[in-house]
Amino acid sequence: MTPQQQATSQQPTTTQQQANLRHATVVADSAGRPAVDREEHGQVDVTVVLPCYNEQDHVLDELDRISKALDNSSLSYELLVIDDKSTDGTLAVLQDALPRFPHMRLMPFRRNGGSGTARRIGTAEAAGRVVVWTDADMTYPNERIPEFVRYLHDNPDVDQVVGARTSEQGTHKFLRVPAKWAIRRTAEFLAGTRIPDLNSGLRAFRREVSLPYLRLLPPGFSCVTTLTLSFLSNQHPIDYLPIDYGKRAGTSKFHFVRDAYRYILQVLRMVMYFNPLKVLMPLALFLLTAGLVKGTTDLFRHDLRITTNATLLFVTGLIIAAVGLLADLIVRSRADS
């Protein structure tokens, strides 16, 4: 059994979880058609998954921009818009807009689940062979979505293409830039490859490839980081296209301390899930070396006696190394079974 098949077999049933998030009746497209049947997946070229939370003032501009770009292309598409239990008039605006956008499908959540939850459920429900993730806040150049989809069509060896931002326009810029640089460099070290943009919200990927990893997506912003590391850790090629990044419309939902902390945890969690030795073995070797050096020094300074500190350093290193080897064995057993 392949790693993807194994991951799929371990995926818990999410039907009830999704039902708890969505309204009992999912609003379909402008013609009133129901949600796409699972057997019809792959009948369109691309599904654009667009989570919306309190975007009433500009969401129509974003829908216009995406729809015009795709209408002018030769791609068949659906625009899957997910209202994440907005507290303003976003849902009413989207419902009124349904007749204007024949390719739009609206999925209102019963409670707020987070952008990661919206993207996970949207990808699972998508009818397209390629899925595009983007935001509804006017920051990403969504008029370039057809370019990203064609890139995958023209490069069958690439499974995901990510928009690499050339500037930072978010809030707390003086804190975000060094924090994101540090997190990205950590992810590059752990993943063993260069990552120009770890958490870009604009990306296109092959839906079939992503399915085994949907269960790993957290509910918050770090879902994009998770998808990047999942693909890289399983040798699914990712390419990057440089993009401009605009100033956000509306109010940012990003909380610097909380979300930066979650990003760091998610990077470590994903690498531990796929390659635990990459995280644990350097720490174990450092402690073992420190214990040996300290113990050797103690032998000369304390009449051939080794201090408790040296013993603790060495034993702690042995424990972490053992845990790392055990975790690696579990990962390999999970992949090979």
Q: For residue range 140-184, what is the model confidence (pLDDT) as tens digits? A: 999 999 999 999 999 999 999 999 998 765 555 666 677 777 778
Q: Give residue limits of the domains in the chain.
A: 3-274, 276-336
The CATH-assigned architecture of domain 3-274 is: Alpha-Beta Complex (3.90)
Q: How far apart are the C-alpha atoms of 56 and 137, rounded to whole Å?
A: 10
Average pLDDT, the chain: 83
CB 213 within 8 A of CB 293: no
Per-residue confidence (pLDDT) for residue 271, from 0 to 100:
79
Q: Is the pLDDT of residue 270 over 90?
A: no
Helices 145-154 and 59-71 cross at an angle (nearest 10°) of: 40
Residue for token pair 């996970």: 120
Q: For residue range 6-52, what is the model confidence (pLDDT) as tens digits? A: 444 444 444 444 444 544 334 444 333 334 444 444 489 999 999 99
Per-residue confidence (pLDDT) for residue 142, from 0 to 100:
96
Q: How far apart are the C-alpha atoms of 49 and 131, rounded to whole Å?
A: 7
Mean pLDDT in residue range 234-238 = 93
Please state whether the predicted TM-score (pTM) of the whole model is above 0.85: no
Q: Is the pLDDT of residue 56 over 50?
A: yes
